[in-house]
Structure 1
Amino acid sequence: MSAELTTHVLDTGREGPAEGVEVTLQRLDGDGPAETIAQGTTNDDGRLNEPLLTESQMEAGTYQLLFDVGAYYRQGPSGSTFLETVPVRFVIDDANDHYHVPLLLSPGGYTTYRGS
């Protein structure tokens, strides 16, 4: 598998992918503000159509994914307003490796892990 950064969002309450979730990738290295470097919206499989970082864009550093789940839930069947934005901070320490950061989502909580 090539070096890249990918994600997907699964809605455990609906037992399937979460379509239409806005995802923003920010780089957090340095003393300055977070730098937005990629954005996308999950498709009907809960994935982005393109990697957030391709092999040529991969760099070691600290990153943050922001998942806009508030809009997803307000427009969905649950109508939940508890979660708004889910931030996931992580470190890429080997720019030659594949990083996959899934989000498992429910109206009242979430979990994440380093996937494969």
Structure 2
Amino acid sequence: MTVQNESGTTTTTGVLLTDAAAGKAKALLDQEGREDLSLRIAVQPGGCAGLRYQLFFDDRSLDGDLTDDFGGVTLAVDRMSAPYVGGATIDFVDTIEKQGFTIDNPNATGSCACGDSFN
């Protein structure tokens, strides 16, 4: 499945990894000296709103994975998570208030107060 998102970028995963997020992920991979890992976004049951994101480096390739390359970083989405994250944007913020990866998902109809889960 190939999707064109709001920014006009065509992706197989339906997810956009911003330049800031790709740069941070690439720096982390370079720091570890691992070129065999992909950045995986998955959706799992849990959290107070029903579903929880998982964003992690993975050395596995699952049957049915959708993948895209962003600046030398392979983004992987398993086929069960793809419908939940299609159209989402993963960014990296580094401000005095917060630091880390963020996920802006237009499919999420609500989230919990802690921002860790969605529905």
Whether TM-score is above 0.5 comes out as: no
TM-score (norm 1): 0.32
TM-score of the aligned structures, taking structure 2 as reference length: 0.32
Q: Which has the higher strand share?
A: 1
Which of the two has greater helix per residue? 2
